[in-house]
Structure 1
Amino acid sequence: MTTATPTRQDDLLGITLGHRAMCADSRRLADLASRIVTGAERVDRARAAAIARWVGRLADEIGHHHEAEDDVLWPVLEARAGDRVDLAALTDDHAALDPLLAEVRAAAGDLARAPTDAAAARALAQHLAALADVLAEHIAEEEREVFPIILAHVPQHEWRAVEAAVRDRGGDMGFVLPRVAAVASPEQMADLRRAAGPVLMVLLPITRRRLRRAEKLVFGGASRL
């Protein structure tokens, strides 16, 4: 009788880096909005529109990630771990984030329409700071509660099927991939390349170049990508 290979910590690298990228970007945007409020950053119409596009792409990414967890990962965990896992609080967090994402989108849109409006800048800074705080707390709890369940109860082949199903749901890889690479260490990037194969090697430089132009307009200064 063959025993299934268990999921390993290394197998969770993709989801871990995805979490890091979302948290880093939400905090980075919150810091930018705070500087706009204080006058440390100047915003014209083109930059405000670029900020709104970046905020919208991040909100899409967060929403896509949480829907994939609800629809794809949670059923696997419940089937494998049964009453050893309680996902109610994390699911509630996902639902609570939806109106916050809507507020962030709306505030960014208001700034794009009126780049010199101090009230619009303050609202965006407030909502982005709330998003960064809530997202960081949620992800920390998720990794603390869910990752051990995956490692203990989900076989490696099922975890890989989860990752494949999530990829099949689509997503803005031109936005996600270079930002995930930006938060990875050299060792983690080497692991990603081994896992993803030549496709990553082809896509990463292309997506990085394209996103770097948008990043410069949004954030200014040195590139993180």
Structure 2
Amino acid sequence: MTVIPVIDLMHGQVVRAAGGLRSTYRPIVSGLCGSSDPLTVARILCDHCEADRLYIADLDALQGGLPQLEVLRRLMQALPGIECWLDAGFTDEGDVARVIKPLAECGARVAPVFGSESLRSTRTLAARSEAVPGAAHREPILSLDRRGAERLDPAGCWESPSLWPRRVIVMTLERVGSGAGPDLDLIRALRGRSPHTELIGAGGVRHPADLDSAREAGAAAWLVASALHDGQLPRQSLRQPRPTPRQV
């Protein structure tokens, strides 16, 4: 199971996400990083996980503010070997171009994340091959966003699997930072609907056994933050192969 570290950026700092209630987020207090500085946190998390991908949520942009372009530019330029998956509340192709183009021009390896909570129309998914100016090989990623039983999906992305890109994040916001465990039933259900999609889970991972269970359910990777900061996924647990859990 691939662990993709996450940083949530708000007002230029890394914050601790919990339950998708963004107004309550505060600067991260981390036993692993000892800092809320974005570059410090990103470097330590990527090194800890031996990651070649980093998920970045620009919470200023997601809440209707301006993207944190200068922070993002410095961060991505300092991580030349890392592909950055960026969710900046993209509503359409124009939003993508305004944010991704200046980052790509600086040499950043950045792939836009289309969050279902933000997209205005599935037309953006249909046009995704043209949605990354200057970096067409950075294929966009769809995030299917949900809080509890509510799908955050004004455009109808959840019901349009024929338009899903190769990589789809399953974002269960109520489980983010909760320690409630991953939603494996949802992963299984989406695997059944779209067997060839690469599913990346998000939310709820507590320990290495959760990652094993998520792999068995059909996830190819998982986005993780809190369990890393809290020491629940030590370095050795991410690098040593573990036996496949028995099916019961």
Give the TM-score normalised by the residue count of structure 2.
Answer: 0.27
Higher relative contact order (CA 8 A, sep 6+): 1
- Structure 1 or 2: more strand by fraction: 2
- Structure 1 or 2: more helix by fraction: 1
Give the TM-score normalised by the residue count of structure 1.
Answer: 0.29
